[in-house]
A and B are shown apart, each in its own frame.
Chain A
Amino acid sequence: MTTPPRDLAFLRGLTQSRTRSSLTRRDALRLGGLSAAALGLAACGVQGKKVEPPKPSAAAGYWADKKKNGVLRWANWPLYMEKKGNSYPTLEAFTKDTGIQVTYQEAIQDNSTWFGKIQPQLAAGQDIGFDMMVMTNGIHLGRAMALGYLVPLDHSKLPTFNANVGAKYKNPSYDPGNAYTVPWQSGLTGIAYNPKYVDGDITSIQELWNPKYKGKVGMMLDAQEIANFALFALGVDPDKSVQADWEKAGQKLQQQRDAGLVRKYYENDYVDALVRGDIWMCMAWSGDIYQQIAEGQDLKFVVPEEGATIWTDNMCIPKTAQNPVDALAMMDYVYKPEIAAHLAEYITYITPVPAAQEVIKADAAKASGDDKKALELAATSPLIFPSESDMARLRSYKSLTPAEEKAFEGIFQPITQG
């Protein structure tokens, strides 16, 4: 850690004075009775001038004068928190243990819309109404970090995270040293198929290019998701890929589209299409398919032999958070094995806490009937606790610079949005 005074000045500079001129301009507009117009201006986000993101060493400076307030406002995705009736047992336990009241909202539907909502407010230094939010590693989280919108974390307050989180879920390439984020849940993007229509076991990503399944293949709309799959099909590691590889991947996907294989490029509506039989095989997220299987649907999910994508939804603190200390407390709390286990039992994505597996097994031993079956399935499922061999084949999205993003989007979006 460097000397705190300099960091303090640095942080102040980053949160206040650098954007001062544009702030006063906006303030003047607002005073002029045109607050609505100013909102319109802000919504277009043109003031998004790059600021140096705070160095992780700035953490000490930021946290020096922050106090626990006993309140936490948390924005998360739907179905991402254990729920009993109208209450959240995990959050209630947290309140009991720490005295912090939690306002929990399922405010995030997808990363781009969420980023679009908070970007103008963060650029203007305004409270976004939340002290903690969950974003997937990828373009928008990268933008939030590059624009200095996230608070560097104080790891001295995260002992449970450091002790319990599996090594493979720590220190990710998109956030070295977990400087700004800690993992909430991870998931896989693999291939799901309906054995009713597909003969034999699917093991290869090339099956998505098999003419037999013409018009019955579902691909994802997200540029990074389909890019990764095409790169796997070409035998290229997405992390090491360069523009020439993307162009080849683009051709591979264009060829798949031109051959009439692709029924649609889906957002998260592929599950219905798969269950209804509109498509027989598709790119899919592990947790979605797990939930369908647990509900009795006859579906299969595979990690293709060429590779698959692992992504992580991350907890992070926006720079305008009112209760950052409380957010940090929550960030540490969820990594207790029994808490992580209860969350995993409900959420059915990949928990970053390996010790949770033993807890779920113990819960299964105690339970009976349907609960027992569900818990046993969870404790042994490779979709929640991926095997070592699956893990070895998993890759992240590539981190892109702004210039690379343009090239990347220019290659892949014309395919999905022709």
Chain B
Amino acid sequence: MRQKIAPYLLILPGGLWLLCFLVVPLVFMASVSTQEGDVVNGFVQTFHLANFGNALGEYKTQFLRSAGYGLAGTALTILLAYPVAYWIAFKAGARKSTYLLLVLLPFFVSFVLRTVSWKFLLADDGILLQPLKDVGLLPADFHVLQTTVAVIGGLTYNYLPFMVLPIYVALERVDPRVVEAAQDLYATRRDSFLRIVLPLSLPGVFAGVLMTFVPMTADYVNASILGGPANTMIGNIIQTEYLVNNDYPAGAALSFILMAAMLIGIFAYAKALGTENVLEAAAR
């Protein structure tokens, strides 16, 4: 009898947590998203579905831009993280944990501070650009801050460890004997990587994509610190709707559209990758 209850008891704290802080607010936000009114006169539930259409129509540019930034940032993190993870998993030997710590080390510093430090690094007259301008390699009015490059760069930098760690875990689990077996069967190094190691590490990449693409697309700090007028992301719009305009229905509708779009995107990606069970893949 006890054994039957135990698992439920164990799941209770986490379950309650999710119920209180995820399910209830979600249901509530769903209700808010179809309300009408303003903060002074109050909001009334009118099942005003037009909120969604309006939000999408008005801000489709920012939606598309966020998705674009999210995709670009995710692709860049994969390109940067895979070799790092590969090297740590297979070549770092006994110092693995030291190198992993080094990957994580910048992340002991506050997220905002790290992003702000990019501003100093990339300032028009800063330590990076000024010398290049002085020697004439760059035109005097060249700048990186407040451009798409700066925002995607910031996103990539800030989410890199979330890609390195899952890929590392996946690679670390690859049994060296299967690689040996491939070589015994006269596979070239390239073949053994492409046909053995890479497919075995894909679940790690998938988990990494989940952990980087979703927060990147919803991010607003990078765009507001490093971006310019043409780099506003959907996260910035949602923040403005909630905190500046106090237009809660519009903010809620935008959040749900974003959530739906990302869920569809993630499941489509899982399907394309042949990872039938998204959650199982992520858990591995």
- Is A417 in contact with B237, judged by CB distance below 8 angstroms? yes
Query: Which chain A residues numbered 80 to 127 have a C-beta less than 8 Å away from chain B?
Result: 112-113, 115-116, 119
18 contacts across the A-B interface (CB closer than 8 A): A36-B20, A40-B28, A46-B32, A48-B39, A112-B246, A115-B246, A143-B39, A146-B40, A223-B244, A264-B228, A265-B229, A277-B125, A278-B123, A278-B125, A278-B143, A402-B40, A409-B245, A418-B230
Query: Which chain B residues numbered 37 to 69 have a C-beta less than 8 Å away from chain A?
Result: 38-43, 58, 61-62
- Is B229 in contact with A276, judged by CB distance below 8 angstroms? no
Given contact pairs A45-B248, A276-B125, A263 touches B146 in the complex (Cβ within 8 A)? yes
* A257 proximal to B (CB < 8 A): yes
Given contact pairs A262-B229, A418-B230, A44 touches B29 in the complex (Cβ within 8 A)? yes
Given A36-B21, A277-B124: 5 more A-B contacts, CB < 8 Å: A40-B24, A45-B246, A46-B35, A46-B248, A277-B125
Q: Which residues of A contact B246 (CB under 8 A)?
A: 45, 112, 115-116, 119, 143
- Is A37 in contact with B25, judged by CB distance below 8 angstroms? yes
Given contact pairs A278-B123, A409-B245, A46 touches B42 in the complex (Cβ within 8 A)? yes
- Is B24 in contact with A34, judged by CB distance below 8 angstroms? yes
Query: Which chain A residues numbered 9 to 42 have a C-beta less than 8 Å away from chain B?
Result: 34, 36-37, 40-41
Give the distance to chain B from A366, nearest Cβ to Cβ, in Å: 40
* Chain B contact residues, CB within 8 Å of chain A: 20-21, 24-25, 28-29, 32, 35, 38-43, 58, 61-62, 119-120, 123-126, 141, 143, 145-146, 224-225, 227-230, 232, 236-237, 240, 242-248, 252
Q: Which of A44, A119, A262, A267 contacts B28 (CB 8 A)?
A: A44
* A272 proximal to B (CB < 8 A): yes
Query: Which chain A residues numbered 228 to 284 have a C-beta less than 8 Å away from chain B?
Result: 257, 262-265, 267, 269, 272, 276-278
Q: How far is the CA of A119 from the CA of B243 in the complex (A)?
A: 11
* A147 proximal to B (CB < 8 A): yes
Q: Which residues of A contact B61 (CB under 8 A)?
A: 418
Give the distance to chain A from B225, nearest Cβ to Cβ, in Å: 8
Query: Which chain A residues numbered 117 to 159 have a C-beta less than 8 Å away from chain B?
Result: 119, 143, 146-147
Q: How far is the CA of A248 from the CA of B126 in the complex (A)?
A: 38
Give the distance to chain B from A97, nearest Cβ to Cβ, in Å: 39
Q: Chain A, interface size: which category?
A: 35 or more
Q: Which residues of A contact B243 (CB under 8 A)?
A: 112-113, 116
Give the distance to chain B from A357, nearest Cβ to Cβ, in Å: 36
- Is A147 in contact with B40, judged by CB distance below 8 angstroms? yes
* A168 proximal to B (CB < 8 A): no
* Chain A contact residues, CB within 8 Å of chain B: 34, 36-37, 40-41, 44-50, 112-113, 115-116, 119, 143, 146-147, 214-215, 223, 257, 262-265, 267, 269, 272, 276-278, 402-403, 405-406, 409, 413-418
| 4 A-B pairs with least C-beta separation | A49-B42, A37-B24, A36-B20, A40-B25
- Is A44 in contact with B42, judged by CB distance below 8 angstroms? no
Q: Which residues of A contact B40 (CB under 8 A)?
A: 48, 50, 143, 146-147, 402
Give the distance to chain A from B282, nearest Cβ to Cβ, in Å: 26
Q: Which of B32, B120, B228 contacts A44 (CB 8 A)?
A: B32
Q: Which residues of A contact B237 (CB under 8 A)?
A: 417
Given contact pairs A44-B29, A48-B39, A48-B43, A272 touches B232 in the complex (Cβ within 8 A)? no
Q: Which residues of B contact A44 (CB under 8 A)?
A: 28-29, 32, 248, 252
Give the distance to chain B from A50, nearest Cβ to Cβ, in Å: 5
Nearest opposing residue in chain A for B26, CB measure: A40
- Is A405 in contact with B25, judged by CB distance below 8 angstroms? no
Q: How far is the CA of A73 from the CA of B252 in the complex (A)?
A: 34
Nearest opposing residue in chain A for B38, CB measure: A402
Given contact pairs A44-B29, A113-B243, A272-B119, A50 touches B229 in the complex (Cβ within 8 A)? no
